A and B are shown apart, each in its own frame.
Chain A
Amino acid sequence: MAIRRGLGIGSMYYGIGYGFSRADIGSAEIEMAEDGTTTVYSGACDMGQGVMTVVTQVAAEELGIEPEQIRVVAADTGSTPDAGPTSGSRATFVQGVAVQNAAAELREQILDMASRMLECPKENLVVRHGQVCEIESGREMVSVGKVAHQLHFHGRRAAAWGWHDNTTADVDPETSQGDAYATYGWATQLAEVEVDTETGRVRLTKLVSATDAGKAINPVAVEGQIEGGATMGLGYGLYEQHILEGGIPRTNSLAFYLVPTAMDVPDIECEIVEVPDPRGPFGAKGVAEPATIPTTPAILNAIYDAIGIRITETPITPERVFFAIQEARDRGEFEED
């Protein structure tokens, strides 16, 4: 066996949200019960990305209550307002702001009533850990639940609605120039590969990913998105191929369409870069798809570093590498061991 090692870098930027003047809206309702339990009705659907956790954290942070006090009702067309799909790396960036807006309005309702109850100017009050506190002394004055009770007692609401429109201007139809997206994600990955020059087999042995998250609202979830995304990028680079023959899918099961297993994925080192984006909730922006994009280029560059041959087709199957090496040999361009 002749194993050669190589390192390669892939970099990318990616438009977050829908861009190009396509509708890109988020909306949420929020309501506080008289024990402080707060329900967020959020249209964003969580298929494992973690948006329900993000919604919980954003609402808790903005309101000044504990995440444990929040319940999220998500993606139920019978009860939640429309927030568009969870796609385009947009859920945190767009829906996060809608939830933040709803929570901010509810907090103002709480502070208005607390100010009346405590006979204290509103600007001297803040909500922390579910308590209305006096800013200067930090003293806890009254729980948010008691304030919600008073709001109801006086026939006023402890509920708010939040909306966010992330729709951008379109680019110039003639020149395609312009700023198509509200913001962009940035990521760079470093791949280390082993190439078996006899069989053409490529193994990814290490991956380091640096991803701009704006602000990591939930770092474990951000890492999960990056590791999962990079794993999809690895599959795209080395294994995954949809083969149609005469219109008939030949790769119609996981036995033929190969996705990475635990034995194919190396240690992935995640570096979360935080450059707060003023348009996202607490500076956050989308990270999901940006993690997928640089992986294949990084692997391709690492293969070039290892064997001096540019592979230009994916997935980079052993056959493709094997024949690329044969062709380079035939041209006298392959450096033998």
Chain B
Amino acid sequence: MKQRYVLRVNGRGMEAAAEAHESLLDVLRENLRLTGSKKGCNEAECGSCTVLLDGRPVVSCLVLVPDAADRDVVTIEALATDGVPHPIQRQMVEQGGVQCGYCTPGMIMSAYALLLDNPDPTDDEIRFAISGNICRCTGYGKIVKAVRAAAVEMKGQAGNGGAAS
């Protein structure tokens, strides 16, 4: 039986009618039409559905929608500001961290969660943070480079009176 759930997605209250056994990923994609999060394996192995739940990265395919109710969900759609890509998004393009693009939204969300926590990560910390996100195209090197460059860029912005959030 479908029930109404109230979700806080990207800072906005949203309602969705869903079965209690439906995943947050399915509700994001099918009910709310937020298709940036990808459904790769649907069993928590590939990471392409990664979103933030109360600030922590989770694979949304394994979160049941009742468990996401009244909590803060942040998806890839929230990262750009007024059509301007987030530094991680821009650097992913700039450094060649995107090939087929399927892992990219989840990869960026894992990196975003890392940089919220740790604005100056080492390469090993970056690799650990994205180790749950499988990429079959790039070999990861350019993704690591992009996250590193984004971290530098974001620190620079924070230094300019915190103009960018």
B140 and chain A: residue at smallest CB distance: A262
Closest beta carbon of chain B to A130's beta carbon, Å:
24
A268 in the interface, Cβ–Cβ < 8 Å? Answer: yes
B132 and chain A: residue at smallest CB distance: A261
A270 and chain B: residue at smallest CB distance: B141
Q: Is B130 touching A262 in the complex (CB atoms < 8 A)?
A: yes
B56 in the interface, Cβ–Cβ < 8 Å? Answer: no
Contact of B127 among A228, A232, A262 (CB under 8 A): A262
Binds A, one of B12-20, B63-71, B93-101: B93-101
Residues of A contacting B41 with CB < 8 Å? Answer: 253-254
Contact of B96 among A47, A49, A220, A255 (CB under 8 A): A220
Q: Mark A277-289, 1 if CB is under 8 A from B, else 0.
A: 0000000000000
A179 in the interface, Cβ–Cβ < 8 Å? Answer: no
Closest beta carbon of chain B to A6's beta carbon, Å:
22
B139 in the interface, Cβ–Cβ < 8 Å? Answer: yes
Can you name 24 A-B pairs with beta carbons within 8 Å?
Answer: A220-B96, A223-B142, A227-B138, A227-B139, A228-B99, A228-B138, A228-B139, A230-B139, A253-B41, A253-B43, A253-B45, A254-B41, A254-B45, A259-B134, A262-B126, A262-B127, A262-B130, A262-B133, A262-B135, A263-B127, A263-B128, A265-B140, A265-B141, A267-B141
A85 in the interface, Cβ–Cβ < 8 Å? Answer: no
Residues of B contacting A27 with CB < 8 Å? Answer: none
Residues of A contacting B32 with CB < 8 Å? Answer: none
Residues of A contacting B130 with CB < 8 Å? Answer: 262
Give the distance in Å from the alpha carbon of A102 to the alpha carbon of B51 in the complex: 45
Q: Is A228 touching B137 in the complex (CB atoms < 8 A)?
A: yes
A73 in the interface, Cβ–Cβ < 8 Å? Answer: no
Q: Mark A232-252, 1 if CB is under 8 A from B, else 0.
A: 100000000000000000000
Give the distance in Å from the alpha carbon of A254 to the alpha carbon of B47 in the complex: 11
Residues of A contacting B126 with CB < 8 Å? Answer: 262
Residues of A contacting B141 with CB < 8 Å? Answer: 227, 265, 267-268
Given A228-B136, A254-B134, 8 more A-B residue pairs with CB atoms under 8 Å apart are: A47-B100, A48-B101, A221-B96, A227-B142, A231-B138, A262-B130, A262-B131, A263-B128
Say whether chain B's binding surface is mostly helix, strand, loop, or mixed. Answer: loop
Tell me whether A224 and B99 are in contact in the complex, defined as CB-CB below 8 angstroms, given that A48-B137, A230-B139, A259-B134 are known contacts: yes
Scoring A230, A254, A268 by chain B CB atoms within 10 A of each residue's CB, the highest score goes to A254
Residues of B contacting A253 with CB < 8 Å? Answer: 41, 43, 45
Contact of B139 among A50, A220, A231, A254 (CB under 8 A): A231
Residues of A contacting B144 with CB < 8 Å? Answer: 262
Interface residues of B in 109-150 (CB under 8 A from A): 126-128, 130-144
Closest beta carbon of chain A to B9's beta carbon, Å:
27
B46 in the interface, Cβ–Cβ < 8 Å? Answer: yes
Give the distance in Å from the alpha carbon of A223 to the alpha carbon of B138 in the complex: 9
Q: Is A48 touching B99 in the complex (CB atoms < 8 A)?
A: yes
Q: Is A268 touching B139 in the complex (CB atoms < 8 A)?
A: yes
Residues of B contacting A230 with CB < 8 Å? Answer: 139
Q: Considering the complex of A and B, which 5 residue pairs feature the smallest CB-CB distances, nearest first?
A: A48-B100, A227-B139, A231-B139, A48-B99, A254-B45
Give the distance in Å from the alpha carbon of A223 to the alpha carbon of B95 in the complex: 11
Interface residues of A in 162-193 (CB under 8 A from B): none
Residues of B contacting A47 with CB < 8 Å? Answer: 100
Q: Is B131 touching A50 in the complex (CB atoms < 8 A)?
A: no
Residues of B contacting A265 with CB < 8 Å? Answer: 139-141
Tell me whether A50 and B99 are in contact in the complex, defined as CB-CB below 8 angstroms, given that A254-B46, A261-B131 are known contacts: yes
Residues of A contacting B127 with CB < 8 Å? Answer: 262-263
Residues of A contacting B96 with CB < 8 Å? Answer: 220-221, 223-224
Interface residues of B in 1-41 (CB under 8 A from A): 41
A218 and chain B: residue at smallest CB distance: B96
Give the distance in Å from the alpha carbon of A268 to the alpha carbon of B140 in the complex: 10
Interface residues of B in 68-105 (CB under 8 A from A): 95-96, 99-101
Q: Is B138 touching A224 in the complex (CB atoms < 8 A)?
A: yes
Closest beta carbon of chain A to B132's beta carbon, Å:
8
Give the distance in Å from the alpha carbon of A263 to the alpha carbon of B99 in the complex: 19
Closest beta carbon of chain A to B150's beta carbon, Å:
15
Give the distance in Å from the alpha carbon of A232 to the alpha carbon of B137 in the complex: 9
Scoring A230, A265, A267 by chain B CB atoms within 10 A of each residue's CB, the highest score goes to A265
Residues of B contacting A254 with CB < 8 Å? Answer: 41, 45-46, 134
Q: Is A232 touching B136 in the complex (CB atoms < 8 A)?
A: yes
Closest beta carbon of chain A to B6's beta carbon, Å:
33
Closest beta carbon of chain B to A270's beta carbon, Å:
9
Residues of A contacting B134 with CB < 8 Å? Answer: 254, 259, 261
Give the distance in Å from the alpha carbon of A227 to the alpha carbon of B101 in the complex: 16
